[in-house]
């Protein structure tokens, strides 16, 4: 059959697909009468991360460190920020890995860094992606619009995931075709990605088991611990963590203890690595507010999700936490 193909480009495509995709499940009959193997069960090589913020940069770095080819989609400003964040973090890791070998450290750092490219053009970033991880603003409409657009562009086999903290993965996925919804799931990373071992893998009612398994394996390939989550509010971690953070805010607002005492008490009495206010500074006060506001809108009678005036004021003042250098505390360096 192959001999009937005149188009040299097509031969190249078939050859490169045959190299890339180990197992085949489907035969497709092209209009010009050539059977090609459908790349249904392809391996993940190319990862596209949409969004160059704190989470996007962390995910891109983790994937590059595990030898995936990574493309980050971001505008100029966020591309720069993303590369600076990754570079800073790789410097720390390289120094730890090669304490007495500056050459080895540089080689490690450069080789990981070279796996990451940044682009502004969403289309370009998706045409060759095996896995897309969205890490943009926590807004259902914005996410749906973006996924609808790339559903038309990305190859059929591409797995779509959202790093949403608080939205329903099923609602986001609804913007895509039914076929894509089988290859759509949540992949929720934690901040800072370099320091947090967990990845929540969220299945919707439509997620194909093969897609789910592929994502579990991907998380393992990143050196992370995957945990299966239902597509319910906040999945596991945020559903338990955010009411605790909001309760810490209310405790302080009632004047029961100082921020420093609450943080110290929780660290030394409950064994958590950071107190709730330190942690909100890491997460980003804007992110905490967006999550809790969204849940409050959905369940206004649920007192666990009641808004906090203090949090709202700090966000209004632009005190967003460590990424800005000021939140509940002041920091010398912007981090995470
Ligand atoms: N990249 C890589 N490594 C870094 C680094 C960086 N940017 N910055 C610091 N490190 C290394 C340090 O070199 C140090 O290494 P060493 O132990 O070998 O010397 C190590 O990381 C620890 O650094 P620090 O001493 O500065 O910090 P800590 O010991 O306090 O650990 C932490 C930092 C891992 C962030 C820890 O405090 C922690 O686990 N905090 C809790 C964070 C958390 O709960 N995150 C989840 C938030 S919820 C979320 O993200 C969900 C979302 O949807 C909202």
pLDDT in tens, 279-307: 999 999 999 999 999 999 999 999 999 99
Do 225 and 250 share a structural domain? Answer: no
> For residue 151, is it within any domain?
yes
- Final residue in a domain of this structure, among 229, 252, 273: 229
C-beta 236 within 6 A of ligand 1:
no
Cα of 195 from ligand 1 centre, angstroms: 4
- Nearest atom, ligand 1, residue 165 CA: 53
**Which of 90, 192, 223 has most ligand 1 atoms within 8 Å of its beta carbon, as the pocket-test mutant?**
192
Report whether 320 contacts 286 (CB < 8 A): yes
What's the predicted TM-score (pTM) here?
Answer: 0.88
CA distance 109 to 105: 6
| C-alpha to C-alpha distances, 29 to 10, 26, 33, 39, nearest whole angstrom | 14, 10, 6, 13
Do 70 and 20 share a structural domain? Answer: no
- Final residue in a domain of this structure, among 229, 264, 286: 229
From the list 134, 137, 138, 114, the residue with the least C-alpha distance to 122 is 134
C-beta 93 within 6 A of ligand 1:
yes
Do 80 and 6 share a structural domain? Answer: no
C-beta 197 within 6 A of ligand 1:
no
For tokens 């959905």, name the residue. Answer: 298
What is the reported pLDDT for 76?
A: 96
Q: Identify the segments of the chain with pLDDT beneath 70.
A: 1-41, 335-336
Whether 238 is a known active-site residue: answer yes
C-beta 206 within 6 A of ligand 1:
no
Do 142 and 50 share a structural domain? Answer: yes
Whether 213 is a known active-site residue: answer no
What is the reported pLDDT for 41?
A: 61
Report whether 147 contacts 176 (CB < 8 A): yes
Do 197 and 136 share a structural domain? Answer: yes
Do 200 and 54 share a structural domain? Answer: yes
Do 63 and 115 share a structural domain? Answer: yes
> For residue 13, is it within any domain?
yes
Do 184 and 51 share a structural domain? Answer: yes
Which listed residue (188, 191, 206, 278) is catalytic?
Answer: 188
φ, ψ for residue 208, nearest 5 deg: -70, 140
What b/e sequence results for 96-122 when a residue is b if at least 16 CB atoms lie within 10 Å of its CB, and e otherwise? eebeeeeeebeebbeebeebbebeeee
DSSP E strands in 38-93: the ranges are 46-50, 69-73
Nearest CA to ligand 1 atom 33: 195
Which listed residue (162, 191, 238, 308) is catalytic?
Answer: 238
Range(s) of the domain holding residue 19: 2-37
Nearest CA to ligand 1 atom 6: 89
């Amino acid at each position: 059959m192959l001999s009937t193909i005149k188009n040299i480009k097509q031969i190249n495509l078939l050859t490169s697909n045959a190299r890339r995709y180990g197992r085949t499940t489907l035969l497709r009959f092209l209009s010009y009468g050539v059977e090609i193997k459908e790349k249904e069960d392809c391996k993940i090589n190319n990862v596209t991360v949409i969004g160059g913020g704190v989470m996007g940069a962390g995910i891109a770095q983790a994937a590059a460190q595990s030898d995936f080819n990574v493309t980050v989609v971001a505008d100029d400003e966020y591309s720069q920020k993303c590369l600076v964040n990754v570079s800073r973090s790789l410097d720390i890791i390289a120094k730890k890995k090669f304490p007495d070998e500056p050459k080895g450290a540089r080689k490690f750092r450069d080789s990981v860094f070279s796996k990451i490219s940044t682009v502004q053009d969403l289309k370009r970033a998706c045409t060759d992606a095996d896995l897309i991880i969205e890490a943009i603003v926590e807004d259902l409409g914005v996410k749906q619009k973006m996924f609808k657009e790339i559903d038309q562009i990305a190859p059929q086999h591409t797995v779509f995931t959202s790093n949403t903290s608080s939205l329903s993965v099923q609602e986001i996925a609804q913007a895509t075709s039914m076929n894509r919804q089988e290859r759509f799931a949540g992949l929720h990373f934690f901040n800072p990605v370099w320091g947090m071992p967990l990845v929540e893998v969220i299945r919707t009612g439509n997620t194909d088991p093969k897609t789910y398994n592929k994502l579990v394996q991907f998380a393992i390939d990143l050196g992370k611990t995957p945990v299966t989550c239902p597509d319910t509010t906040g999945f596991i971690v945020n559903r338990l963590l955010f009411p605790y953070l909001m309760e810490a805010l209310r405790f302080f607002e009632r004047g029961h203890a100082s921020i420093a005492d609450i943080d110290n008490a929780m660290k030394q009495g409950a064994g958590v690595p950071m107190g709730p206010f330190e942690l909100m500074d890491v997460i980003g006060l804007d992110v905490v507010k967006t999550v809790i506001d969204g849940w409050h809108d959905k369940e206004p009678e649920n007192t666990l999700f009641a808004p906090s005036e203090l949090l709202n004021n700090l966000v209004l003042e632009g005190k967003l936490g460590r990424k800005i250098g000021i939140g509940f505390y002041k920091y010398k360096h912007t981090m995470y």
